[in-house]
């Protein structure tokens, strides 16, 4: 009945001459929050960038909403529009003269050519709602260039939320948010998956959060070491396999 939002089969991705991701297979169902965990340099960002079509992949197959992603990252625009991505770092030229409201509105616009006034009131309403959801409506007239790191993160999330999507991909998304914003952020993710059936795929180093909030875990270190529910995956044996025995001893002594 519920086809998976994302299917990855035998995916291998190179960073120059190095196979950063090797033969990784998994599926991401709708309405679930799936975490990707693993040590630094394990290939987590490489994996999601290949799934998003930002990096080419060498072999394997990727299907988003049943449509194949080409090895060079091509996907039909109607499918691409269903995916939102919040990167680890968002680098841009701070001199760009664009306000928060204008920036978030770009997330609402359809891909491709359209009239500049398209949408009108629906667009304005969607922008206001998205900014309110991330508690940033008060910033709507601010130039993006003056925002703090945490404010910018919330604006980027509003950019992802401004239109209904099927898949939200996050790379260490809450980094830079204060404690209150972080808990609001996870509450919002929960709401998106429960009420609107969004699939969430998030890279995280916060194993306690993963245990609390995620439904499934993929543990990787170049290859997929294990997958399943947090209880099934985050066992001392699997953590030792991924991070080394020292890490498990350290966590138990805390
Ligand atoms: N632009 C690049 N050029 C060459 N190699 C790269 C590049 N970016 C990453 N790598 C290498 O690819 C491997 C995987 O990196 P990746 O950033 O995917 O890991 P990660 O699991 O996301 O790490 P972290 O937890 O530190 O963010 C690492 O060995 C890294 O050095």
Q: What is the pLDDT of residue 119?
A: 61
Q: Give residue limits of the domains in the chain.
A: 6-82+165-253, 95-163
Distance between Cα 43 and ligand 1 center (Å): 6
Q: What is the pLDDT of residue 252?
A: 55
ipTM of this model? 0.96
Q: What is the pLDDT of residue 183?
A: 84
Q: What is the pLDDT of residue 80?
A: 92
Residue nearest to atom 3 of ligand 1 (CA): 15
- For residue 138, the Cα-to-chain-centroid distance in whole angstroms is 25
Q: How confident is the model at residue 226 (pLDDT cuts 50, 70, 90)?
A: very high
Q: Kindly tell me the burial class for residue 113, based on how many C-beta atoms sit within 10 Å of its own C-beta (0-12, 13-18, 19 or more).
A: exposed
- Does CATH number 3.90.76.10 belong to domain 6-82+165-253? no
Residue nearest to atom 27 of ligand 1 (CA): 40
Mutate to test the pocket of ligand 1, among 13, 46, 172, 247 (most ligand atoms within 8 A of CB): 46
> At residue 19, what are phi and psi to the nearest 5 degrees?
-80, 95
d(CA 169, CA 26): 15
Kindly state the average pLDDT of the residues 73-82: 93
User: Can you tell me which atom of ligand 1 is nearest the CA of 222?
Assistant: 14
Q: What is the pLDDT of residue 97?
A: 87
Residue nearest to atom 8 of ligand 1 (CA): 15
- CA torsion sign, 91 to 95 to 101 to 105? negative
Distance between Cα 21 and ligand 1 center (Å): 10
Which position has the higher pLDDT, 241 or 127? Answer: 127
Q: For Cα atoms 88, 187, 85, give the angle at the middle one, nearest 5 degrees.
A: 30
Q: Is the beta carbon of 54 within 6 A of some atom in ligand 1?
A: no
Q: How many CB atoms lie within 10 A of CB 191?
A: 12
- CA torsion sign, 131 to 37 to 64 to 21? positive
Residue nearest to atom 16 of ligand 1 (CA): 43
Kindly state the average pLDDT of the residues 25-49: 96
pLDDT in tens, 114-130: 655 556 788 899 999 99
User: Can you tell me which atom of ligand 1 is nearest the CA of 43?
Assistant: 18
* CB neighbour list of residue 191: distance below 8 Å, 6 or more residues apart: none
pLDDT over threshold 50, residue 1: no
Q: What is the pLDDT of residue 101?
A: 94
Residue nearest to atom 24 of ligand 1 (CA): 40
pLDDT > 70 fraction of the chain, expressed in percent and rounded? 92
Provide the β-strand partners of residue 10: none
Q: How confident is the model at residue 253 (pLDDT cuts 50, 70, 90)?
A: low
Contact 134, 154 (CB under 8 A): yes
């Amino acid at each position: 009945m519920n086809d998976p939002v994302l299917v990855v089969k035998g995916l291998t991705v190179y960073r120059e001459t190095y196979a950063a991701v090797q033969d990784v297979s998994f599926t991401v169902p709708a309405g679930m929050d799936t975490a990707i965990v693993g040590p630094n340099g394990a290939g987590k960002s490489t994996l999601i960038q290949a799934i998003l079509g930002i990096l080419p992949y060498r072999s394997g197959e990727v299907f988003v909403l049943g449509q194949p992603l080409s090895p060079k990252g091509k996907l039909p625009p109607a499918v691409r529009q269903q995916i939102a991505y919040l990167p680890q770092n968002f680098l841009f030229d701070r001199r760009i003269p664009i306000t928060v409201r204008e920036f978030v509105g770009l997330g609402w616009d359809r891909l491709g050519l359209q009239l500049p006034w398209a949408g009108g009131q629906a667009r304005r309403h969607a922008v206001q709602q998205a900014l309110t959801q991330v508690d940033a409506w008060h910033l709507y007239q601010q130039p993006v260039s003056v925002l703090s790191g945490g404010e910018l993160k919330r604006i980027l999330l509003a950019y992802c939320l401004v239109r209904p999507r099927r898949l939200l991909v996050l790379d260490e998304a809450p980094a830079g948010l204060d404690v209150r914003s972080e808990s609001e952020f996870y509450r919002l993710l929960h709401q998106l998956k429960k009420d609107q059936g969004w699939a969430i795929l998030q890279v995280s180093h916060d194993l306690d959060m993963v245990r609390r909030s995620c439904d499934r875990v993929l543990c990787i270190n170049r290859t997929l070491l294990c997958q399943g529910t947090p209880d099934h995956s985050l066992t001392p044996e699997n953590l030792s396999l991924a991070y080394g025995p020292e890490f498990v001893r350290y966590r138990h002594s805390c």
